């Protein structure tokens, strides 16, 4: 009984094992072989999957080549203010751009025309672009501009002496500039810039050109021995023992007192606009120091012209005292007094001058070392009126004809005294 039950149990175990094995084999078989569709499904055409048209990728653009850049430094040059210069570059048909680094110094047109407008330095550039050759060339010029200016801004002149020439540093400007003086009574200026001094004081001379004005301050002084270059010439002291000319403007303006005296050494120590007071300070240095054989003295015009306070008698007294001082220090000197002329422009002083000359004439007659030279009457007509032929245009100085008379009156007698 017991054996039947074990057999029954074993059988059931075997059946369960077979079932489990069958299930496992079915699973293995299903995944090992593909599923076959039914006949109706297999007859259907396969579905074709159509991919969308792809967007074409743009080709990369080529990188443009960098232009070839080059700088050419041209020779520097200088200009005067307001001057111009034309610049150029090769192949001007290509694109050229002109420029200035400082428009206050130089300007430049699109065509390379340069104008100097002010003092200083700048660089003119011409940039040439050539697209065909892919090149950029820059030409540069360094420019120095000298501003418009006068040859001097300060000038000292001696009253009624030679003037001075002012000029602008631009050769085109001096003659074409407009010249003017702030005071023509002190110093006047010609159309070409020549300044003539007339009276002591200060004047401003201006030159206007191309809307630019340049000025010079002119100071006019009275002459003194220190302002006349001839007194600083050491050769003067070597001419001791001959002839000295001394006094004021009349003898000072004698252009050539040397030729008429021939071999006789002459020293002209006259000082324009000088007075008795001046010569009391100067006589030792300008007369006595030379111990001349002859002295020609003409002095008093500027003293008498000072006004009514200087009478003929007072002027004569001052002159005579000065002469006596000179004679005391230089006893061997023969002194010639040259009478004062009457100037047409100063008619108010004519009578005083005539009386002064007569008093000096009497003094000369009394002194053995004195000689009177009668110039006055030689320059007047029968009525003792000054003959304008012998005077310059402003009638305060002698003309060439007047100095020809001076030569006749002075030279012959003085040469005879120094032989």
Residues 300 and 273 reside in one and the same domain? yes
* Helix 312-329 × helix 350-366 angle, to 10°: 40
Higher confidence at residue 17 or residue 112? 112
In a domain, 86, yes or no: yes
Phi, psi of 157 (to 5 degrees): -125, 160
Residue 108 in this model has a pLDDT that exceeds 90: yes
CATH number at residue 77: 2.60.40.1080
At residue 85, the pLDDT reads: 94
In a domain, 209, yes or no: yes
Residues 105 and 208 reside in one and the same domain? no
Q: Report which secondary-structure segment, H or E, holds 99.
A: strand 95-100
CB-based contact 198:189 (threshold 8 Å): no
At residue 238, the pLDDT reads: 55
In a domain, 413, yes or no: yes
Residue 65 in this model has a pLDDT that exceeds 90: no
SS3 of residue 86 by DSSP:
strand
CB-based contact 114:84 (threshold 8 Å): yes
At residue 107, the pLDDT reads: 96
At residue 41, the pLDDT reads: 52
CATH number at residue 278: 3.40.50.1110
In a domain, 31, yes or no: no
Residues 317 and 361 reside in one and the same domain? yes
CB-based contact 195:155 (threshold 8 Å): yes
- Cβ count within 10 A of residue 121: 14
User: Which residue range forms the structural domain that includes residue 141?
Assistant: 68-146
SS3 of residue 373 by DSSP:
strand
The whole-number average pLDDT for the span 311-330 is: 94
Quickly list H helices, 156-265: 249-252
What band does 394 get if pLDDT is binned at 50, 70 and 90? Answer: low
Chain mean pLDDT for the chain: 83
At residue 418, the pLDDT reads: 85
Residues 272 and 336 reside in one and the same domain? yes
Per mean pLDDT, which of 13-17, 173-177, 301-305 is the most reliable? 173-177
Residues 312 and 231 reside in one and the same domain? yes
Domain end, chosen from 221, 248, 270, is at: 221
Distance of CA 228 to the CA centre of its chain: 27
Structure tokens at 4: 């039947």
Quickly list H helices, 134-275: 249-252
Residues 332 and 401 reside in one and the same domain? yes
Give the pairing type, strands 154-158 and 212-221: parallel
Residues 370 and 232 reside in one and the same domain? yes
Give the pairing type, strands 164-165 and 178-181: unpaired
Q: Please count the structural domains in the chain.
A: 3
At residue 306, the pLDDT reads: 54
- Cβ count within 10 A of residue 140: 17
Give the pairing type, strands 212-221 and 201-209: antiparallel
What band does 148 get if pLDDT is binned at 50, 70 and 90? Answer: very high
CB-based contact 132:93 (threshold 8 Å): no
Residues 374 and 260 reside in one and the same domain? yes
Residues 242 and 379 reside in one and the same domain? yes
In a domain, 61, yes or no: no
Residues 183 and 303 reside in one and the same domain? no
What DSSP character marks residue 228? -
Domain end, chosen from 99, 125, 146, is at: 146
**Among 33-42, 96-105, 265-274, whose mean pLDDT is lowest?**
33-42
In a domain, 36, yes or no: no
Which pTM was predicted? Answer: 0.53
In a domain, 283, yes or no: yes
In a domain, 367, yes or no: yes
Phi, psi of 413 (to 5 degrees): -70, -40
What band does 36 get if pLDDT is binned at 50, 70 and 90? Answer: low
Residues 206 and 260 reside in one and the same domain? no
Domain end, chosen from 111, 146, 181, is at: 146
Residues 255 and 383 reside in one and the same domain? yes
The whole-number average pLDDT for the span 228-250 is: 68
> Considering only CA atoms, which of 401, 394, 399 is closest in space to residue 199?
394
């Amino acid at each position: 009984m017991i054996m039947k039950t074990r057999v029954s149990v074993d059988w059931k175990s075997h059946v369960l094992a077979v079932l489990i094995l069958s299930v496992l084999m079915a699973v293995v078989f299903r995944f090992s072989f593909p599923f076959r569709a039914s006949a109706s499904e297999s007859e259907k055409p396969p579905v074709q999957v159509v991919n969308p048209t792809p967007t074409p990728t743009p080709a990369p653009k080529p990188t443009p080549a960098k232009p070839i850049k080059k700088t050419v430094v041209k020779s520097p040059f200088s200009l005067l203010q307001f001057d111009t210069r034309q610049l150029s570059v090769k192949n001007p048909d290509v694109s050229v751009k002109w420029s200035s680094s400082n428009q206050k110094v130089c300007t430049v047109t699109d065509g390379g025309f340069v104008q100097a407008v002010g003092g200083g330095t700048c660089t003119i550039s011409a940039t040439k672009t050539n697209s065909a050759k892919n090149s950029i060339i820059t030409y540069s010029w360094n420019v120095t501009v000298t501003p418009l200016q006068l040859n001097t801004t300060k000038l000292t002149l001696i009253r009624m002496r030679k003037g001075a020439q002012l000029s602008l540093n631009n050769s085109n400007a001096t003659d074409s500039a407009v010249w003017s003086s702030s005071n023509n009574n002190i110093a006047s200026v010609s159309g070409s810039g020549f300044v003539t001094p007339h009276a002591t004081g200060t004047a401003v001379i201006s030159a206007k050109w191309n809307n630019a004005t340049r000025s010079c301050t002119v100071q006019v002084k009275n002459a003194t021995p220190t302002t006349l270059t001839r007194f600083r010439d050491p050769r003067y002291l070597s001419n001791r023992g001959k002839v000295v000319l001394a006094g004021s403007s009349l003898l000072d303006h004698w252009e050539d007192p040397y030729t008429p005296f021939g071999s006789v050494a002459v020293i002209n120590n006259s000082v324009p606009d000088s007075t008795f007071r001046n010569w009391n300070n100067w006589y030792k240095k300008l007369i006595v120091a030379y111990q001349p054989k002859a002295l020609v003295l003409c002095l008093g015009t500027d003293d008498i012209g000072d006004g009514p306070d200087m009478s003929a008698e007072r002027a004569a007294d001052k002159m005579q005292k000065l002469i006596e001082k000179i004679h005391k220090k230089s006893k061997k000197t023969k002194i010639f007094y040259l009478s004062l002329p009457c100037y047409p422009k100063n008619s108010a002083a004519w009578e005083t001058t005539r009386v002064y000359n007569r008093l000096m004439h009497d003094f000369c007659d009394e002194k053995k070392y004195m000689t009177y030279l009668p110039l006055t009457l030689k320059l007047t007509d029968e009525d003792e009126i000054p003959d304008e032929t012998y005077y310059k245009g402003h009638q305060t100085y002698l003309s060439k004809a007047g100095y020809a008379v001076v030569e006749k009156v002075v030279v012959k007698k003085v040469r005879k005294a120094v032989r």
